[in-house]
Amino acid sequence: MFKKILIANRGEIACRVAATAQRLGVRTVAMYSDADAQAKHVAACDEAVHIGGSAPKDSYLRWERIIEAAQATGAQAIHPGYGFLSENEEFAQACADAGLVFIGPPPSAIQAMGLKAESKQLMEKAGVPLVPGYHGADQNPAMLRHEADRIGYPVLIKASAGGGGKGMRAVEKAGDFAEALASCQREAINSFGDDAVLIEKYVQRPRHIEIQVFADAHGQCVYLHERDCSVQRRHQKVLEEAPAPGMSEHLRRQMGEAAVAAAQAVGYVGAGTVEFIVEGLEGGEDPAAGPPQGGAAPAGAREPHQRHSVGGAHFYFMEMNTRLQVEHPVTEAITGLDLVEWQLRVASGEPLPLTQDQIPLRGHAIEARICAENPDNQFLPATGTLQVYAKPAATSFEAGVVRIDDGVREGDAISPFYDSMVAKLIVHGDTREQALARLDQALSELHIVGLATNVQFLRHVLATESFAQARLDTALIPREADRLFHQERVGAPLAVAAVVAHVLEAEQALAGDDPFSRRDGWRSHGLAQRRFAFDVAGESLHAQLTYGRGGLLLALGEEAAQPLRAERRGHELVLHLGAQTVRTRLYWQAGVAHVFTPQGAARITLVDALAHAGEAAHEDGRLTAPMPGKIIAFLVKPGEKVTKGQPLAVMEAMKMEHTIAAPAEGQVGELLYAPGEQVAEGAELLKMAG
């Protein structure tokens, strides 16, 4: 086993690797950028080396500097984590040339699987089933368009060197192909330095199921069951679970053996994931939606090994990720194994610890990716400080009932330089139903204030009939859109009551035993009343609190008053409003109250009328950046007339492209930035005439 390793990554995966290394007695070296000087992963390691500027190209992608840091600190090996350089064969080769062990597959395997087109050709030779498509070297746009027309729409354009949903576009009709190709290539060149693409038949209503494989340098290779990653937004995973619902043992074995064949075809060593598209798997289709479409190969397409059927389900090779996956904890939960430990042992020359028939499968696990983003605004990434980061109680790693993997602490900032993921919340249960219930409870206890997150959105997904009944496919989120977006489980009356109760409690605490400072509404005769003004999602609300002889009465607007009572239980304030009894926690930030209950969360502003009386009106004719990022292109020119919803500009933030549309009809005035320039959140991008 190694004595010291350098972790060539940041955030939660760096903390994750450090935890296992520490348990095994392996010393660790962290590396950090300017933005990460005080990051959690730096504190988690035994040593730390400054690597460069905040942007990844100035730090975490500088592999020459990383190798120098490993040599200077006496590290014997480098763990790349995932993302950044984890699938860069040049980096892996440079490690070997420098006498360092790359904790991952050999450079030849990374190269073979790193380019999607070439990997598909290899898989075809190895007998692994493929989706019909074009994986050729000719990248002439006219040729690509011809191939898309031949395959038949809808098609999927994918960056050949891509991953993580970047450089990927679904095209429904021929007229949209050219624009989608250009956008895909732009994103691919920015993310991977390579704009080559491949074209595939877009299998509609597919399941996304991946097989975890592990190989050693002694010729052994096993699969550690499967993960279902079908619930996605913008081609990026949201929820992952293991095992896949509806998976038979026969299908598991067939897919597992195909994944092992894929790994062996490239001489794989270490942890890897072979991803498949699966259609027709029981439990993955909504009976009301009709039969699955897009599975058959079009006329003229090459068919060898393209379709593999087991009990009515068909699976196709999609790609292989030559690294540890973000969702590896669900595999650890159902097997009881530490995959990072396996990585370290295999990389140090040891054989695999278990054979195929020794790998256990117990219970069910689900992982939720907690991201700094606004689901109600097209999942735009968010930045800011974690003013509040209250987590549910986690059990031990070994127990695995509730597990939290993160690389942040309360008070840390989520910057625009890196991925938007804040944490991973993993739960395990004896059954899927038990795991689902535990995940919802854990999400209800996860309180984040300071920036937008997807926590409540995830709870909405769990509550849908499609997810609860395991009718899974990659279109679940758009199909359930009416139940997922702009949904509030905590209504205005309850949110208002929570704020009023917390205000009264705070006033009483300040008053103490001083009778002249009491704010309990006591009068020698008559009833005392107080009025409160609130802003809830842009709507003005008024409430009236009456101090009655029998207790408090609260009325919202014109509604009838209800009895209000609250009692403190530890960190929670238990609220009794009419017939409702609800546990609440409230956090204040910049005048906004963030109310959390087991049912959901709400944001509400207690309005100070005097403070807001002199504020200026909002200016018309301005278009501002919804998040910090870089201008990629303006899609309009000064003087051009535009309609509401027309795309005006393309920005890049959190490594993804985002299109900004016109909020209303008008005429473009002046463009205030040039492509390539960085802009801050709220910066005026262009002027619009009414």
Both 476 and 601 in one domain: the answer is no
Both 154 and 226 in one domain: the answer is no
Residues in the chain: 690
Both 649 and 604 in one domain: the answer is no
**pLDDT digits 0-9 by tens, 538-561:** 788 899 999 887 899 999 988 999
Mean pLDDT of the chain: 87
**pLDDT digits 0-9 by tens, 172-214:** 999 999 999 999 999 988 888 899 999 988 877 889 999 999 9
CA distance 199 to 135: 7
* Residue 249, in any domain of the structure: yes
**pLDDT digits 0-9 by tens, 213-242:** 999 999 999 999 999 999 999 888 999 999
* Residue 289, in any domain of the structure: no
- Per-residue pLDDT, averaged over 63-74, amounts to 97
pLDDT attached to residue 288: 36
pLDDT attached to residue 122: 86
Both 29 and 81 in one domain: the answer is yes
Angle (CA) 681 683 686, round 5°: 135
Contact (CB, 8 A) for 11 and 407: yes
Both 253 and 346 in one domain: the answer is yes
For position 175, which CATH number holds?
3.30.1490.20
For position 275, which CATH number holds?
3.30.470.20
pLDDT attached to residue 400: 63
Number of structural domains (the chain) is 5
Beta bridge partners, 208, equal: 277
Both 321 and 396 in one domain: the answer is yes
* Residue 70, in any domain of the structure: yes
CA distance 153 to 203: 10
* Residue 599, in any domain of the structure: yes
Contacts of 89 (CB under 8 A, 6+ apart): 107, 108, 110, 111, 114
Full domain range(s) for residue 178 = 132-201
Q: Which of 588, 612, 636 marks a domain boundary?
A: 612
- What confidence tier does 51 reach under pLDDT thresholds 50, 70, 90? very high
User: What interhelical angle do 177-192 and 141-151 show, nearest 10?
Assistant: 120
- What confidence tier does 309 reach under pLDDT thresholds 50, 70, 90? low
Looking at 149-163, 422-436, 438-452, 465-479, which range is the least confident one? 149-163
* Residue 648, in any domain of the structure: yes
Tell me, yes or no, if 323 is annotated catalytic.
yes
- What confidence tier does 642 reach under pLDDT thresholds 50, 70, 90? confident
pLDDT attached to residue 314: 84
For position 646, which CATH number holds?
2.40.50.100
Three-state SS at 67: helix
CA distance 71 to 629: 35
- What confidence tier does 627 reach under pLDDT thresholds 50, 70, 90? confident
Q: Which of 167, 185, 201 marks a domain boundary?
A: 201
Both 559 and 680 in one domain: the answer is no
Three-state SS at 98: coil
* Residue 412, in any domain of the structure: yes
- The two beta strands, 447-449 and 388-390, are antiparallel
Could you tell me which residue, 279 or 523, shows the higher pLDDT? 279
CA distance 284 to 531: 52
**Residue 122, exposed/middle/buried by CB under 10 A (0-12, 13-18, 19+)?**
middle
Q: Which of 106, 81, 88, 111 is nearest to 96 (CA)?
A: 106
Contacts of 273 (CB under 8 A, 6+ apart): 210, 211, 212, 213, 320, 321, 323, 325
* Catalytic entry in 10, 323, 459, 585: 323
- CB burial of 139-165 (b: ≥16 within 10 Å; e: otherwise) equals eeeeebbebbeebbbbbbbbbbbbbbb
- What confidence tier does 656 reach under pLDDT thresholds 50, 70, 90? low
Both 83 and 138 in one domain: the answer is no
Which of 27-36, 392-401, 478-487 shows the highest mean pLDDT?
A: 27-36
CA distance 67 to 93: 11
CA distance 438 to 432: 10
How far CA 668 is from CA of 652, 661, 687, in Å, comes to: 21, 12, 6
Phi-psi category of 405—alpha, beta or left, where left has phi over 0 and alpha has psi -120 to 50? beta
Q: Which of 580, 612, 644 marks a domain boundary?
A: 612
Both 272 and 413 in one domain: the answer is yes
Query: Is the pTM here over 0.75, yes or no?
Result: yes
The answer on pLDDT for 613 being more than 90 is: no
- What confidence tier does 71 reach under pLDDT thresholds 50, 70, 90? very high
Both 367 and 456 in one domain: the answer is yes
* Residue 437, in any domain of the structure: yes
Could you check whether the bond before residue 292 is cis, i.e. omega within 30 degrees of 0?
A: no
Both 90 and 170 in one domain: the answer is no
* Residue 471, in any domain of the structure: yes
How far CA 607 is from CA of 496, 592, 611, in Å, comes to: 12, 9, 8
Phi-psi category of 374—alpha, beta or left, where left has phi over 0 and alpha has psi -120 to 50? beta
Both 352 and 446 in one domain: the answer is yes
The answer on pLDDT for 645 being more than 90 is: no
For position 502, which CATH number holds?
3.30.700.40
- The two beta strands, 447-449 and 308-310, are unpaired
